[in-house]
Structure 1
Amino acid sequence: MTSKFIGMREDKGTSVCNCGGSLVYQDEWDRLFDYYDEHNTPSHDLVYNRIHNEDNQPKYICDKCSLEVFVIPDYALRK
């Protein structure tokens, strides 16, 4: 499976994939965001990092080519 990493500022919601398929929002990502946010994770950046690093959960998956799109803090892209 192919993966793509985008920053939080680049995340514009579901859109069209380069293959022509649609990027589908993953409900599990939303559940994890709510779980971490409710448990006093101090910032959204840390929530995004935990979902990526600990849960390995993409925010979107293409319905045609199965591309997984992970959304991470912008500073993490610069590393």
Structure 2
Amino acid sequence: MVSICEIVQQALATGHLTVEAENQLRLLLQTTKYGSEEFNAFMALQKSAMAGLVRQESRHLKEPPHLCASSCSNI
């Protein structure tokens, strides 16, 4: 299984966190004992996501469609 640090490194390198990687992280955080290196990597990922440097695929799947078609037709 992939480690927390590997998932974080890939997300930071690509700027994208897939749903699969997010689920792997969730499972790893719940079922494994992790040290300060893994915790710090996870916190760096959280900060990057909050700053918009990493895009979470799961958040974009839940976004409602834009309503521009009806509101922008008069432009």
Larger radius of gyration: 2
TM-score under structure 1 normalisation?
0.24
TM-score under structure 2 normalisation?
0.25
Which structure shows the bigger proportion of residues in strand conformation?
1
